Amino acid sequence: MPTAEAAPHFSLPPGSMTQATAKKELRAAAAAIRAGAHGAGASAAAQALLRHGIAALGGKPVGAISAYWPMRTEIDPLPLMRALAGPATVLSLPVVVGKGALAFRTWVPGEDLAGGPLGTSEPSRGAAVEPDLLLVPLLAFDRRRFRLGYGAGHYDATLARLRTLKPILAVGVAFAAQEVPEVPTDPWDEPLDLVLTEEGPV
């Protein structure tokens, strides 16, 4: 994995601010940066992400994989999820089941999805599953592999819960431009195990 320090793509405004304000400021800046990266070549980035993901993760047997249905300007993880799946691998998508809580339901490509909270798309049926490998969306990430999400804490709570049950691999997927020098963190923020971008793993 790369070890060189990353060039900062953007920084928070100088001056004192609370942690909540710092995250709010960063979310706004990161959303704009991600939109620019998406507009500059979302399809090519998804294909490059696929190549790097296969190189980094391919060949390892996985019982269950979760990805997410991309919304807004998120990079598309679905080709990578399908490529990593073996003959017996269960595919799943997250479902919002309460404040700060996610569950996962089995999903077969082509099955219809229902609208969920915050503009998400979710399986309306399917068996419950606890994924071994999760492809996780984000707004920003850093070299420590902390991520900044949308602020509801769904993935932080879910990763913490899953890590008490079994070993998992949480992989953030993003455009390289979403990297920041440092994501502001709170004690409940869960780090990722790996970040994949169109430029390679972090």
Given a cut of 60, whether residue 105 has pLDDT beyond it is yes
pTM of this prediction?
0.89
Output the average pLDDT for the chain. Answer: 90
Q: Where are the beta strands (DSSP E) in 41-99?
A: 64-66, 90-98
Residue 117 vs residue 169, higher pLDDT = 169
Q: Which two tokens stand for residue 17?
A: 């601010």
Which of helix, strand or coil describes residue 155? helix
Residue 98 and residue 136 in contact, taking contact as beta carbons nearer than 8 Å: no
Q: Which domains does the chain have, with CATH numbers?
A: 19-201 (3.40.50.10420)
Note the pLDDT tens digit of each residue in 153-183.
899 999 999 999 999 999 999 999 999 999 9
Under DSSP, the state recorded for 108 is -
Which of helix, strand or coil describes residue 78? helix
The span from the CA of 161 to the CA of 165, in Å, is 7
Return the H-helix or E-strand segment holding 113: strand 113-115
Note the pLDDT tens digit of each residue in 130-153.
999 999 999 999 999 999 999 888
Burial 112-147 (b: 16+ CB within 10 A, else e): eeeebeeebebbeebeebbbbbbbbbbbbbbbebbb
Q: Which two tokens stand for residue 152?
A: 């509801």
80 closest CA partner among 112, 110, 48: 48
